[in-house]
A and B are shown apart, each in its own frame.
Chain A
Amino acid sequence: MSTQEYIDSGILELYVYGSLSKDEAREVQEMIAKHPEIKKEVEAIEEAVIRLSSSAAPYLPAVNYQRIKEELFTNSAKVKTLRKTSWATYTGWAAALLLLIASAVFYNQYQSNEEVLKVVTTEKEELQKDKKQLENVQEEYAITLNILRDKNTSVVPLEGQKNYSNAYAQAYYNKESKEVIIDAQGLPEPPKGMVYQVWSLQFDPLTPTSVGLLEEFKTNDSKLFRVAEAPSAEAFGITLEPAGGSETPTMDKLYTLGKV
């Protein structure tokens, strides 16, 4: 096989991905060592997938770099070994004794400082956690807002059914992107151990498909929930189901329903 045929066989791409067996990979290694043009090709493939995956990724905030560096490079002072000489041994012992006394004194001070540091560090961690949570919420809002603003998004009123005539909800359905947002402001708080489940329905034949659960209902202040995409919804319904959701909707717990 010529090197060009070898390249064209597509084995080098799999080599870069890491999907070859050990033996196959060894064979490629040997070819790379022998043929510079194969090595060049491997490098080009690698560059292409690195650029693809780097680009098709969300923004990576610089704070991650800081976090990782902190984890790797703090608390890792290097220990240097002392050269052995006889005078060093004697003075060493004397120094050790002094050090022992001094360290007892310092240790007490250190302990109280340590306490303070611990409290401050915990506070800092808490704040960072809060900040992160806020960022997540903000991001979620921004996504939601984008969907709501989109010209392809239509509002689907979901009216209360039979025993639940007071219940009301709205679905925002983007027919282009298939995204769905549920506004559950008009639903009562679900009882403990129960959760609302959203279904996209197709008629003829009637097929319900779960598009997700309205989890953490109580803590979601906006009561806006982004659920999974619904590829071909003709209607949306919301039922009350045991925690974790159900395979099929419990029809006598159908709270609201509305046609697209």
Chain B
Amino acid sequence: MQQDQLLELIEQKDEKSFDYLYDMYAQSLFGVINAVVKNKAQAEDVLQEVMVKIWENLDSYKKEKGRFYTWIVNIARNAAIDKYRSKAYKKQRQNLSTDNFVSILEGSYNLGRLTNAIGIEAFVKKLKPKCIKIIDLLFYKGFTQKEAAEDLSIPLGTLKTRNRACINDLRTLLNVK
């Protein structure tokens, strides 16, 4: 299902349309939240907060301002970042600041339990390290172009085309045309 069909459905605001919404996006938002807070139990709490917020503010989403997914992933990111900051962050985390979404794949324990991720480790590892970094900053952490370019010390134009090339790699690996 694409977003246009979903949006028609969720105008009903009933339980069934919520199920569609959850099926389509909850796991993805959970991935984004978990990459920021890095604690599964807390990520579950944030996800709940986020899904409730999305549902209760559906009316404030305006189709002409952008993709629905962009709107909800932004809500998820902001909630996760708030949580991350409020944790009065402990020293033991300091050394982990360079962590990214891939690090959660490294414990084979997680991998065994991944639902729809057969072979995901193999494919994520095929992504170039610079791609992982760039996707992590722009998509997962929600950096602006300028912030990301500064962080990586590359010009804005390079950032855009490099990111495009990385997403193309990802699409080839996932066979999304």
Which A residues are within 8 Å of any B CB, using their own CB? 8-11, 13-20, 25, 29, 42-61, 64-65, 67-69, 71-73, 132, 136, 139, 142-143, 146, 177, 197, 209-213, 215, 227-229, 244-245
Which B residues are within 8 Å of any A CB, using their own CB? 2-3, 15, 18, 22, 24-32, 34-35, 40-41, 43-44, 47-48, 51-52, 55, 64-67, 69-71, 73-74, 90-96, 101-102, 104-110, 113-117, 120, 124, 135, 138-140, 142-145, 148, 160-164, 167, 170-171, 174, 176-177
**A-B CB pair tally, cutoff 8 Å:** 198
**Cα distance A22–B41 when bound, in Å?**
34
Residues of chain A within 8 A (CB-CB) of B161 are 8-10
Q: Which of B25, B27, B67 has the most CB of A within 10 A?
A: B67
Q: Which secondary structure dominates chain A's binding surface?
A: helix
Q: A53-B101, A55-B117, A71-B52 are in contact. Are A8 and B164 (CB under 8 A)?
A: yes
**Cα distance A241–B93 when bound, in Å?**
17
Contact yes or no, A229 B174, CB < 8 A: no
B18, B92, B170, B174: which contacts A69 (Cβ < 8 A)?
Answer: B18
B3, B18, B28, B96: which contacts A72 (Cβ < 8 A)?
Answer: B18
Contact yes or no, B32 A46, CB < 8 A: no
Contact yes or no, A44 B177, CB < 8 A: yes
Q: A49-B139, A72-B18, A209-B95 are in contact. Are A19 and B171 (CB under 8 A)?
A: no
Residues of chain A within 8 A (CB-CB) of B106 are 177
**Cα distance A197–B95 when bound, in Å?**
14
Contact yes or no, B15 A73, CB < 8 A: yes
In the assembled complex, the CB of B96 is this many whole angstroms from the nearest CB of chain A, namely 6
Q: Which of A53, A211, A215 has the most CB of B within 10 A?
A: A53
| Given pairs A60-B26, A71-B52, A177-B106, 10 additional interface contacts (CB within 8 A) | A15-B70, A18-B142, A42-B67, A48-B171, A50-B28, A52-B124, A52-B170, A56-B35, A58-B114, A212-B92
